[in-house]
Chain A
């Protein structure tokens, strides 16, 4: 079945450090890929998305590229801020014709950024 694997956290970085959170997936066909972010005490918000191979999603300085050859969608940011402290979830959505497109989430990676 379809699945998403994320690097385990927590991840602790200093402000302005480079961030990578690894995400790999297993899926039949060509899923859409997402990164969601959950700030403390809140629900999930869509951070970025990509629908086909080699697409790059970007938002708020975060980027992720859909790599079909390595089945990966790693999240990166060049310079993190304290306000980026949150839990980050990688997710995929089935794209075959009969699918409802339900999301399958990874377990989440908690990021803490220190001043």
Chain B
């Protein structure tokens, strides 16, 4: 099993350009997530999905859109990139949390380093 994979690994954009980051998982997980990691900020949730065809906003959704057309894929789009979106982006997936005591162990991809000039 490949687990969670992300493409591309690196990308440089100019301000105003658009791009899509692809996340794929082969663990048949229902839930998928997009995070950004910035120095001194830890990981912050951008958007997440609890199933095919559903998405929801996380902590920092502005400037990003997502789509979950297939269960195994979760796409993160930047319509008009800004320098403030320079970051490392991580995708993760998990099984559903079952019940009040259920765990949400997330499995992470290797990340995409994005620079916006």
Contact = CB atoms under 8 A, between A and B. Distances in A.
A6 B111 CA distance: 23
Given A93-B97, A105-B43, A100 B105 contact: no
B63 interface: no
Interface in A19-61: 32, 34, 36, 41-46, 49, 51-52
Interface in B80-117: 90, 92, 97, 99-111
A81 interface: no
B43 A89 contact: yes
A99 interface: yes
Interface residues of B, number: 28
Nearest to B40: A107
Nearest to B6: A43
A18 interface: no
A46 B108 CA distance: 9
B103 A49 contact: yes
Given A51-B103, A102-B104, A43 B4 contact: yes
Instruction: Return the 3 tightest CB-CB contacts between A and B, nearest first.
Output: A101-B97, A43-B108, A101-B104
10 contacts: A36-B108, A43-B4, A43-B111, A44-B92, A96-B100, A100-B31, A101-B102, A101-B103, A102-B48, A105-B43
